[in-house]
Structure 1
Amino acid sequence: MAHTGITPIVMPKWGLEMREGTIAGWLVEEGMRIEVGQPIVDVETDKISNAVEAPDPGLLRRKVAKDGETLPVKALLGVLAEPEVSDADIDAYIASYVVPAAAEGEDEQPAFAWVEVGGIRVRHARRGPEAGTPVLFIHGFGGDLGNWLFNLDAIAETLPVIALDLPGHGQSDPKLPGTTLTDLAGFVARFLDAIGVPRAHVVGHSMGGAIAARLALEAPQRVASLMLVNSAGLGGEINTDYIEGFVTAASRRELKPVIEHLFADPSLVTRQLLDDLLKYKRLDGVTELLRALSASLFAGGRQAEQPALELEGSGVPVAVVWGEADRVIPASHAHHAPPGAKVTVLPGAGHMTMMEKASDFNALLRGHLAEC
């Protein structure tokens, strides 16, 4: 039975592995008029917390999900409807709501794929349509493709997206192709060759931004555009206490204050996030690998290479996004961007801008891609 005039608010799917979320608290009350994009309910996942935003404008007529309740992806959280829609119609809609079968069907597409590049097995993910220039997401030091969990699906609505675990990170083999940005950028180019992608828009976070900039300098024909997110490679300063702390931390107690450096809101650092990082760091060879990488790129508390300062004249369109409260790489580096770059510094975000300000970041990235 169709119920016209009723808009469901459903549990989102953040990231490639999310299956359920827990309601941490409603941010609005029944009877309030909601605007598009307004945060309406906080949801905790096993990775991180985030706010569900209103998909459409309307009047919040009913909260269906209760605080503390754990629900599957696409479960009904609430209902938007104008006053002329009767309570009886809303009751009927809620009673008849079934979690869409598509939520199960999505599992038929593997979340991840693997490809071997120069003897290194690389985990990656591909989503979105087949047509269009793909958008490649490159994470930073100690990260993995899960750092983009709030961004991939949003961009995949219109363009193909690709995210990889860099060598020695995530679930890729704990080996490095070398420890310089040139080594890593060359590896990314060979990865694109291996998966049959001649050219991509490249989005790089932190160390991944410096790798992306080096790739644009050495193979500009392969880079349709660049977005640098809290990027290395735009100045010398970097928080060496964070880098060293991440490399050496061996317990949850040691790692927690280090990871809190990444966020403007340290409460976003969950027990599961720490456990996942510790599991990664305990893999054979990972600590030595991270130490070698940090010694090459960040020795003495300085960035050894600053390729993003050389982008002027490359012909590659550049956008720069930063979190104002970044405690790893100073937000002032955003203003070292090449002439013509579009620069945005977002308040209320730290080093992980694409997670803490996902909606704003996704809108900026969509706008950047539309102009390229």
Structure 2
Amino acid sequence: MRKLLICLALIVAAGATTLYLSPAALLASVQFTEQQLAGLDSRNVQVGEFNIHYYEGGPQGAETILMIHGFGADKDNWPRFSRPLTARYHVVALDLPGFGDSSKPEASYDVGTQVERLNAFTKALGIHKLHLIGNSMGGHIAALYAARHPEQVLSVALLNNAGVSAPQASELFKRLDRGDANPLLVRNADDFNNMLDFLFVEKPPLPESLKQYLAQRAMASHDFNQKIFSQLRERYIPLEPELAKIQVPTLLLWGDKDQVLDVSSIKVMQPLLKQPSVVIMQACGHLPMIERPEETAEHYQAFLDSVKS
């Protein structure tokens, strides 16, 4: 009860600060509130040349869920989705190197390299067995990790993951093939609004001051993100030859209105996996854990329960 009252007070405080705080302070306040509600703490660890920031919560000694964000994203994709999970699981959500608060040196950020950095991260935290969940690029990394390090992995959940050639091209790839601007890279405020429309069916509500601040941050990251996106395409590792190596139960969860990665990707992956489960969320976009976090968490918990049965 005491923790609930503290969280309610934080929500009220976060709402009140909308009128008074700078956008940066407002964002920090909202993120802190979401962390507290999910029972997550902010931490960081040095792994090789990278200082990696992450959220951690839930009972020590419980099974670990490692959450991996997508391109241009960070660990703050996961707290609301994590709320019902931290009571039973040890939850870790990291900023991959090159994203969020983690180090961003001039380096390679292709998925193969990130898989090995992720493996070093789990060793630094003393994690020997884990459930993996990843979205978009993070799903590509999660699947490749499960194929390369099967001794560690208990299950895999792939949310709108990259890494396969879909039978039906997504709107993103149609635009890129035409030579149009990448809708995931933000050059101005209009690009940011268009990106939100591209990612979501129902966009999360954002105060205008916070939206402008997030747009400015995305604009500041444009050149670095463009470099990473080019590396992802130039050093692409297809998952089709890798999926058969994944021996553990694997959830394929997709929003049916995803414009970034088409839902028809499931038709490629499902027959290649040993133990697939499929959930297609209707009227949902590329980021189901943000657009509909409670429903997505329910699907994921049902999957985890099936893994144990």
- TM-score where L is the length of structure 2: 0.78
% identity of equivalent residues: 23
Relative contact order, higher structure (CA 8 A, sep 6+): 2
Paired residues, what number?
277
CA contact (8 A) 1:323 1:351 kept: yes
Contact 1:312 1:338 in 2 (8 A): no
How far apart, CA to CA, are the structure 1 residues paired with 2:102 and 2:251? 28
Structure 2: gaps of 5 or more residues? 17-25, 28-32
Alignment deviations for residues 62-94 of structure 1 (CA, whole Å, 9 cap, x no partner): xxxxxxxxxxx79xxxxxxxxxxxxxxxxxxxx
Does the CA contact (< 8 Å) of 1:204 and 1:228 recur in 2?
A: yes
Please point out which of 193, 206, 211 is paired with 1:256. 193
User: Residues 175 and 319 from structure 1, CA distance in 2 versus in 1: closer, same or farther, beyond 3 angstroms?
Assistant: same
In angstroms, what is the RMSD of aligned CA positions?
3.2
CA contact (8 A) 2:187 2:222 kept: no
Rg comparison, structure with higher value: 1
Q: Does 1:344 align with 2:274?
A: no
Q: Which ranges in structure 1 are unaligned for 5 or more consecutive residues?
A: 1-8, 23-45, 48-72, 75-102
Cα offset, 1:252, TM superposition = 2.0
The yes-or-no answer on 1:245 pairing with 2:177 is no
CA distance in 1, matches of 2:40, 2:282: 36
Alpha-carbon shift at residue 220 of structure 1 (Å) = 0.8
**Distance in 1, Cα, partners of 2:104 & 2:13:** 28
Query: Which residue pairs with 1:219 in the alignment?
Result: 149
Q: Helix, strand or coil: the match of 1:112?
A: strand
Alpha-carbon separation, structure 2, partners of 1:259 and 1:198: 37
CA distance in structure 2 between the partners assigned to 1:357 and 1:234 by the alignment? 24
Counterpart in 1 of 2:14?
20
Q: How does 1:267-306 map to 2 (within 5 A)?
A: 268=205, 271=208, 272-273=210-211, 275-276=213-214, 278-279=216-217, 281-282=219-220, 286-298=221-233, 304-306=236-238
| Structure-to-structure mapping, 1:203-218, within 5 angstroms | 203-218=133-148
Equivalent-residue separation in structure 1 for 2:13 and 2:247 (angstroms): 42
Q: Contact 1:123 / 1:172 at 8 angstroms: preserved in 2?
A: yes
| Kept after mapping to 2: 8 A contact 1:129/1:160 | yes
1:319 is matched with which residue?
A: 251
2:299 counterpart of 1:369: no
CA distance in 2, matches of 1:211, 1:176: 20
In structure 2, do the counterparts of structure 1 residues 10 and 298 end up closer, same or farther at CA, with 3 Å as the change threshold? farther
Kindly indicate which of the two structures has a greater share of residues assigned to strand: 1
DSSP 3-state at the match of 2:84:
helix
Deviations 1:255-301 (A, max 9, x none): 2112221101246465424523532552xxx44432222112236xx
Q: Matched residues in 1 for 2:11 and 2:155: separation?
A: 28
Does structure 1 retain, via aligned residues, the 8 Å contact 2:40–2:58? no
Match of 2:82 in 1: 152
Superposed, which structure 2 residues align to 1:191-206 within 5 Å? 191-206=121-136
CA-to-partner distance for each residue in 1:187-242, whole Å, 9 max, x for gaps?
A: 11111111111221000000000001111111111211100001111325451458
**Which structure shows the bigger proportion of residues in helix conformation?**
2
Cα distance in 1 between the residues matched to 2:259 and 2:206: 15
2:82–2:297 Cα contact (<8 Å) kept: no
The 5 A counterparts of 1:1-372 are 20-21=14-15, 111-175=41-105, 178-235=108-165, 237=169, 239-240=172-173, 241=175, 244-247=182-185, 249-266=186-203, 268=205, 271=208, 272-273=210-211, 275-276=213-214, 278-279=216-217, 281-282=219-220, 286-298=221-233, 304-307=236-239, 310-339=242-271, 340-372=275-307
- What CA distance in whole angstroms lies between the structure 2 residues aligned with 1:130 and 1:121? 23
Please give the alpha-carbon distance, in whole angstroms, between the structure 2 residues aligned to 1:175 and 1:367.
Answer: 39
The residue aligned with 1:93 is none
Conservation of the 8 A alpha-carbon contact between 1:214 and 1:308? no
Distance in 2 between residues matched to 1:267 and 1:17, nearest whole Å: 17
AA aligned opposite 2:156:
L
